[in-house]
Structure 1
Amino acid sequence: MWLKIIILLLFAGVLLSLSSGLRFLLKDAGVPESKRTLYALGIRILLATVMMLCVFYGFYSGILSSTAPWDASL
């Protein structure tokens, strides 16, 4: 249960970083030396990577399982 909560928090962080990156992109359009959009992209990539590692760990350890119809034979 704790792993699902961590994954949801990381997903919310990815969405928050995505929206802040868009806001920085629109607000800093005329300022070429501003790197806030780049930093928001880096944070989003980091959060997405950690989230994917959590998902892989969950499936590998058996904490997460798939109930998709195409996985019925497994």
Structure 2
Amino acid sequence: MKIVTVSLFAIGLGLASMSASSAMPVAPLDRAAASDTATIPVAGGCGPGWHRGPAGGCRPLYNCPPGWHSGPFGRRCFRNW
């Protein structure tokens, strides 16, 4: 009987603490109060000067002249067909 009482007390305590937690804060209703200045723009999570490749990896931005495109790893330029 003592084990049942302690178990019910532990379950009740767990349920009470679960309702008091705030994992997701309430969003502000006024759009002016929510500023986007805390957001740092990056190129797909790679940072400035880099972009995501077809396999999902970060590769450097490589600018080829008009009529050319970057190769598989962005290190060479190939003529457009």
Q: What is the TM-score normalised by the length of structure 1?
A: 0.31
Bigger fraction of residues in helix: 1
The structure whose Rg is larger is: 2
Q: Which of the pair has the greater relative contact order for Cα pairs under 8 Å at 6+ separation? A: 1
Q: What is the TM-score normalised by the length of structure 2?
A: 0.29
Bigger fraction of residues in strand: 2
